[in-house]
């Protein structure tokens, strides 16, 4: 007998769910939990029901926390959402294996979802395990392991969309932007209603410096979800790149007002405030997403470096470090910054960035030393010529 956890405030839902399961003969044990960490203690876990009677987005964030974790990552979930609408359904679809139901619980809505959850957990466990392994390898940047797993997943999943989008995200992580764009465009064709696929396509275009193409994707997508926070966050990122810092900050804050848990918007707000000499307000908002925020801040800084704004990029990294603390892989960012300054023949900045790289790099990282020597030499020549 499998167990379904109920993450809820009262025993009433437990009793109702138990009665429904017994009536349908589903052979389920039920266990109420009060914190998500308790899921790890349930040995026969087959799924979870999450109820939040007051805030649909808060319940969706609980599901997102499970998806971003390291255990039970792709557990089937039923979400009981007040005011359930098409936007909530789109968010649930993109989180994968999530069935949204109306709250308070209604048998005609809940029972079919409960049957689907049990069937999926018992008959398609291999797909969940594959997704969990793919996700873990992506988090650990073990990209060589992801490819074979993706091929297996594509063969076993009856719908091609998920595998296609995952391939796009793999290419994006590997900075293979042309193939990310091709795969993501295919994913959008396979499921034009997926907000995640459209967002990923726009991000891939952005990373490939095709901002006009990215804008076209977002402009078309806004008709599906006019207030979708990640779309606003991407528009805010473009504004910052263009030097429209106040506009970017306003858009990031508008996005966070709709969904305060977005790493991209938090990173963007920190970047915009750093450029405006006020970066401390983000500190209390970081929570468990600090690592992702750190990576995105670094990415946004490199946006500016690529646009020949190395001074602004340096300011972002220095001020964000005061908020985010030490960043173990920051030497890679400083190295990239040094290369951008070198390309501009700004040898003073290049020397500063290469020194920061050397100071933060592991002892066996010797790639920076020739560039450090070159920057010193070029500065000496410049001084001698003056």
Instruction: Determine the Cα angle at 90 with ends 37 and 240, to 5°.
Output: 90
CA distance 337 to 304: 10
pLDDT of residue 287: 64
Q: What pTM, to 2 d.p., does this model score?
A: 0.79
pLDDT of residue 386: 63
Q: Mean pLDDT for each 10-residue chunk of the chain (386 residues)? A: 84 81 83 87 89 80 83 88 85 90 83 87 84 88 92 88 94 94 96 92 92 93 84 93 94 90 88 85 67 86 88 89 79 91 92 92 92 92 75
What ranges in the chain are assigned the alpha helix state H? Answer: 12-23, 56-67, 86-95, 107-123, 125-139, 143-156, 160-173, 177-190, 195-207, 211-221, 229-241, 245-258, 263-275, 290-306, 310-324, 330-343, 347-360, 368-385
Contact assessment for residue 100 and residue 51, using Cβ atoms and an 8 Å cutoff: no
pLDDT of residue 371: 94
Grouping H, G, I as helix, E, B as strand and the rest as coil, residue 80 is strand
Residues pairing with 45 in the sheet: 3
pLDDT of residue 203: 93
CA distance 256 to 118: 35
Backbone φ/ψ region at 8: left (φ over 0), alpha (ψ -120 to 50), beta: beta
pLDDT of residue 370: 94
Unique residue bearing structure tokens 């005609």: 108
pLDDT of residue 243: 93
Token pair, residue 142, equals: 């073990």
CA distance 359 to 352: 11
* Nearest CA-CA partner of 48 in 80, 19, 8, 77: 77
% the chain with pLDDT above 70 = 97
Grouping H, G, I as helix, E, B as strand and the rest as coil, residue 308 is coil
């Amino acid at each position: 007998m499998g167990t379904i956890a109920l993450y809820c405030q009262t025993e009433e839902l437990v009793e109702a769910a138990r009665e429904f399961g017994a009536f349908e003969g589903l052979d389920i044990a039920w266990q109420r939990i009060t914190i998500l960490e308790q899921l790890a203690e349930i040995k026969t876990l087959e799924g979870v029901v999450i109820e939040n009677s007051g805030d649909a987005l808060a319940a969706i964030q609980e599901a997102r926390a499970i998806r971003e974790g390291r255990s039970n990552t792709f557990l089937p979930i039923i979400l009981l959402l007040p005011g359930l609408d098409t936007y909530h359904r789109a968010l649930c679809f993109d989180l994968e294996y999530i069935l949204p139901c109306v709250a308070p619980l209604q048998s005609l809505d809940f029972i079919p979802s409960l049957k689907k959850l049990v069937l999926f957990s018992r008959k398609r466990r291999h797909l969940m395990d594959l997704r969990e392994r793919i996700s873990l390898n992506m988090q650990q940047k073990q990209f060589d392991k992801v490819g074979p797993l993706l091929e297996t997943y594509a063969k076993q999943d009856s719908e091609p969309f998920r595998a296609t989008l995952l391939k796009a995200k793999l290419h994006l992580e590997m900075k293979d932007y042309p193939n990310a764009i091709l795969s993501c465009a295919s994913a959008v064709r396979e499921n034009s209603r997926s907000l995640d696929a459209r967002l990923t396509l726009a991000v891939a275009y952005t990373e490939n410096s095709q901002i006009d193409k990215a804008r076209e994707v977002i402009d078309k997508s806004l008709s599906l979800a006019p207030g979708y926070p990640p779309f606003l966050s991407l528009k805010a990122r473009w504004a910052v790149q263009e030097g429209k810092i106040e506009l970017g900050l306003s858009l990031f804050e508008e996005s966070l007002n709709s969904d305060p848990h977005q790493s991209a918007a938090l990173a963007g707000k920190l970047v915009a405030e750093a450029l405006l000499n006020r970066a401390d307000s983000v500190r209390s908002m970081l929570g468990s997403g600090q690592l992702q925020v750190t990576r995105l801040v670094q990415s946004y800084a490199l946006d500016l470096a690529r646009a020949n704004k190395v001074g602004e990029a340096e300011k972002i990294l220095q001020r964000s470090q005061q908020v985010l603390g030490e960043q173990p892989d920051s030497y890679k960012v400083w190295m990239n910054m040094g290369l951008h300054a070198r390309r501009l023949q700004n040898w003073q900045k290049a020397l500063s960035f290469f020194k920061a790289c050397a100071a933060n790099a592991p002892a066996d990282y010797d790639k920076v030393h020739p560039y450090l020597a070159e920057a010193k030499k070029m500065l000496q020549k410049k001084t001698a010529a003056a």
